[in-house]
Structure 1
Amino acid sequence: MGLDFVSEVAARPPLVLGVDPRPAWHPGPEPLEHLERYALELMETLADGLAAVKFQYAFFEALGGAGWALLERLVAAARVLGLPVIHDAKRGDIGSTAEAYARATLARWPGSALTVNPYLGGDALEPFFEAAAASGGAVFVLVKTSNPGSADFQDLDAGGRPLYLRVAERVAAWAEAWPAEAEPWSRVGAVVGGTHPEALELLRAALPRSLFLVPGLGAQGAEPRPGAGLLWSASRSLFYPGGRPDLAAARRQAEAYRRALAG
């Protein structure tokens, strides 16, 4: 099968570099060129201390064709550096559309992972699970997101329990059905915001076989804490420490996060 996302990240430090490119923050007449050079240098600098690189698709899509081309080059560069890749696209649709999304990400980039939205139900996620199993990849299902407004729906009462715990029950069943080679982990993980530490603790117990992608580290105020299967993601605070591209500051911030996550 070649590259295997779960086996790779399970053996690496638990820090994820989030890449949310903002060309306006890059100086000079060719901001995209400067952005690309900076991203390449940063990935190379931090590679040994990362679990993965997470590319937030919205920021690339906003740049049109040039953004898509930049995304492809950076994903390819991450793989050359030996870094696992997470496509943060939050896909979720029915039938042939879900299959097309799966081909565009998991099948196109073997050994990578994709974030997905469970709102349409299990049949809409099945193509992603199948593609992950066939390509050595993984799927991270949104369960409890890091934004304050997540409570609007995710915390609604669902038979005496918050809805996010009901979603977790289904994710646990999917995790059992799609095991990975790296025991005890599954190819079906969960997105659980680090900004909700109580929910993080509940969900870690409810989803023993799922790796967690834990956003919110840094700019959103989440405090890093060590734990089995927790992949902590930092975007603005690590890619743009201090609100600007700064390799030296990013190295210092990554080291601080690694110390905190090592306990």
Structure 2
Amino acid sequence: MDFLEALARPPLVLGVDPRPGLHGKEPIPHLRRYSLEVLEALAPRLAAVKFQLAFFEALGPEGMALLLELASGARVMGLPVLFDGKRGDIGSTAEAYAEAYLLRFPGSALTLNPYLGLDALEPFFRAAQRSGGAVFVLAKTSNPGAGFLQDLEVGRRPLYLHLAEVLAEEGRRYLEGPWSRVGLVVGATYPEAVQRVREAAPHAPLLLPGVGAQGGKPLKGPGLLNASARALFYPRGRPDLEGALEAAEALLAALVE
């Protein structure tokens, strides 16, 4: 499986951010069962599934084992996998992160933090190309305080747009058909920023977090991947398979109106 195949699927990404407190006295077995049920039920309606690494890491060794099991299960179901870890480091450490989440899981994607510079991102770009995967670099994030750094002016334009332009140029080396393996993260909570980034980086897949609970609405357009976690994985604030199906249908309906 090549991650870029996700761009030909329904433009909805399921975010899996496990909350053990919602899964009773034995959270891991219940969480495993519920997650697999949701993945199987929603698979035809999804572009990909995004696993937020922090929530699995917080569960210790059992959580990491669960992550590997769910990622493998998603792949068996034909679902592209995106690891949301916002990784970024220099030299051999960047190479190790790339090995762990891209080369060890061919065809998967990983979110990246660009703060350390282009040389720190290069190992991830190469690994994505080698493995048939992709990367999504943080540009304009969905949180309210994103503008603290991301909106600073650089050459009479906001930093996030400068970054998008630079990465669009870098991404040309990693084009596969119409799309690059170098994508960008732009919060659905900032639709004007989505439009500006799309104009600056026409070949970059855009991951749009913040749909649903953070107030973002699904956005239409080629190469846009609308990501929803709480509103889709825990509709009504709890595990609810029927509610997850209803929420997915509602989000997809909004994209064809």
- TM-score, length of structure 2 as denominator length: 0.99
Structure 2 stretches of 5 or more lacking a match? none
Q: Which residue does 1:19 correspond to in 2?
A: 16
User: Deviation string for 1:76-113 (max 9, x for gaps)?
Assistant: 00000000000000000000000000000000100000
241, 250, 253: which is aligned to 1:256? 250
> Residue 235 of structure 2 aligns to which amino acid in structure 1?
P
> Residue 11 of structure 2 aligns to which amino acid in structure 1?
P
Partners of 2:81 and 2:255 lie apart in 1 by 20
Q: Which residue does 1:153 correspond to in 2?
A: 149
Q: Which residue does 1:213 correspond to in 2?
A: 207
Q: Which residue does 1:9 correspond to in 2?
A: 6
Q: CA deviation at 1:148?
A: 0.7
Partners of 2:173 and 2:56 lie apart in 1 by 33
User: Deviation string for 1:190-239 (max 9, x for gaps)?
Assistant: 00000011111111111100000000000000011211110000000000
Q: CA deviation at 1:262?
A: 2.3
Partners of 1:66 and 1:116 lie apart in 2 by 25
Q: Which residue does 2:96 correspond to in 1?
A: 100
Q: CA deviation at 1:159?
A: 2.0
SS of aligned partner of 2:214: coil
Q: CA deviation at 1:160?
A: 1.1
Partners of 2:217 and 2:210 lie apart in 1 by 8
> Residue 144 of structure 1 aligns to which amino acid in structure 2?
K
Q: Report which stretch shifted further, 224-233 or 13-22.
A: 224-233
Q: Which residue does 1:36 correspond to in 2?
A: 32
> Residue 140 of structure 1 aligns to which amino acid in structure 2?
F
User: Deviation string for 1:11-60 (max 9, x for gaps)?
Assistant: 20000000000010112x31111011000000000000100000000000
Q: Which residue does 1:54 correspond to in 2?
A: 50
Number of equivalenced pairs: 257
Partners of 1:91 and 1:262 lie apart in 2 by 34
Partners of 2:113 and 2:180 lie apart in 1 by 18
SS of aligned partner of 2:180: coil
SS of aligned partner of 2:51: strand
- TM-score, length of structure 1 as denominator length: 0.96
| Conservation of the 8 A alpha-carbon contact between 2:179 and 2:204 | yes
**Percent identity at matched positions?**
63
Partners of 2:215 and 2:37 lie apart in 1 by 26
Partners of 1:131 and 1:175 lie apart in 2 by 13
